[in-house]
Chain A
Amino acid sequence: MASQRDLRRRIRDVAKIKQITRAMQFVAASKLKRAQDATLTARPYSQKIDEVLADLAAVLGQDEHPLLAAREGGKRLLVLITSDRGLAGPLNTNTIRFAARAIMDHQGDLAVVSVGRKGRDAMRRTRVPLEAHFAGFGDRPTFADVLPLARLVTDGFISGEFGRIDLVYPRFVSTLVQRAQLETLLPVTPSADTDGIPGNQFIFEPNPAAVLEQLLPRYVATRLFQAVLEAKASEESSRMVAMKNATENADDLIEEYTLAYNKVRQANITREMIEIATGAQAH
Chain B
Amino acid sequence: MPLLLEIVTPEKLAYSDTVDAVTLPGAEGELGVLPRHAPLVTTLGVGELRIRKAGQVETFAIAGGFLQVRPDKVVVMAEMADMAAEIDVERAAEARREAERALEGGFHEGADLTQARAALAVALLRQRVALRHREGPRHRG
Residues of A within 8 A of B (CB): 38, 41-42, 44-46, 48-49, 51-52, 55-56, 142-143, 196-197, 201-206, 210-211, 214-215, 218, 221-222, 225
Q: Say yes or no: B66 contacts A206, CB within 8 Å.
A: no
Interchain CB contact under 8 A, A41 and B27? no
Given contacts A45-B77, A214-B66, contact A205 B10 (CB under 8 A): no
**B8 in the interface (beta carbon within 8 A):** yes
On whether the beta carbons of B38 and A45 are closer than 8 Å, the reply is no
Q: Is B41 a contact of A42 with CB atoms below 8 Å?
A: no
Find the B residue at minimum CB distance from A201.
B39
| Minimal Cβ-Cβ distance residue in B for A222 | B10
Closest to B43 in A: A214
- State which of A41, A55, A211 has its C-beta within 8 Å of the C-beta of B13: A41
Contacts of B65 in A (CB 8 A): 218
Query: How far apart sit A206 and B26, CA to CA, in the bound complex (Å)?
Result: 10
If A45-B11, A48-B6, A142-B11 are given as contacts, then 15 extra A-B residue pairs at C-beta distance below 8 Å, sorted by A number, are: A42-B10, A44-B6, A44-B8, A45-B10, A48-B8, A52-B41, A52-B66, A56-B41, A202-B40, A203-B41, A205-B27, A205-B42, A206-B28, A211-B42, A218-B65
Residues of A within 8 A of B138 (CB): none
How distant is the Cα of A238 from the Cα of B90 in the complex, in angstroms?
Answer: 41
Known A-B contacts A48-B68, A48-B75; A204 and B9 likewise in contact (beta carbons under 8 Å): no
Does B70 belong to the interface (CB within 8 Å)? yes
Q: Nearest CB to that of B71 among chain A residues?
A: A197
Q: With a CB–CB cut-off of 8 A, which chain B residues contact A204?
A: 40-42
A–B pairs, 25, beta carbons within 8 Å: A41-B11, A42-B10, A44-B8, A45-B8, A45-B9, A48-B8, A48-B75, A55-B41, A55-B68, A143-B9, A143-B79, A196-B70, A203-B38, A203-B40, A204-B41, A205-B27, A205-B40, A206-B43, A210-B27, A211-B41, A211-B42, A211-B43, A211-B66, A214-B43, A221-B10
Given A49-B77, A51-B68, A215-B66; A203-B12 close (CB under 8 Å): no
Give every chain B residue within 8 A of A215 (Cβ-Cβ). 66
Beyond A197-B70, A205-B27, whether A143 also contacts B41 by CB under 8 A is no
- Whether B8 contacts A205 by the Cβ 8 Å rule is no
**How big is the B interface, by class?**
20 to 34
Out of B13, B40, B43, name the residue touching A44 (CB < 8 Å).
B13
Give min CB distance, B114 to chain A, whole Å.
Answer: 14
A143 lies within 8 A of B70 (CB)? no
Interface string of B78-122 (1 = CB under 8 A from A): 010000000000000000000000000000000000000000000
- For B12, list chain A residues within 8 Å (CB): 41-42
Q: How far is the CB of B71 from chain A (nearest CB, A)?
A: 9
- CB-CB under 8 A from B9, the residues of chain A are 45, 143
B residues near A143, Cβ cutoff 8 Å: 9-11, 79
Q: Which residues of A have CB within 8 Å of B13? A: 41, 44-45
Which residue on chain B has the smallest CB distance to residue A199? B41
- Chain B, residue nearest A146 (CB): B10
A52 to B68, Cβ gap below 8 A?
A: yes
A211 to B44, CA, bound (A): 10
**Docked complex Cα distance between A205 and B69 (Å):** 12
Chain B residue nearest to A196 (CB atoms) is B70
CA distance A222 to B43 in the complex (A): 17
Contact code string B1-16 (vs A, CB < 8 Å = 1, else 0) = 0000010111111000
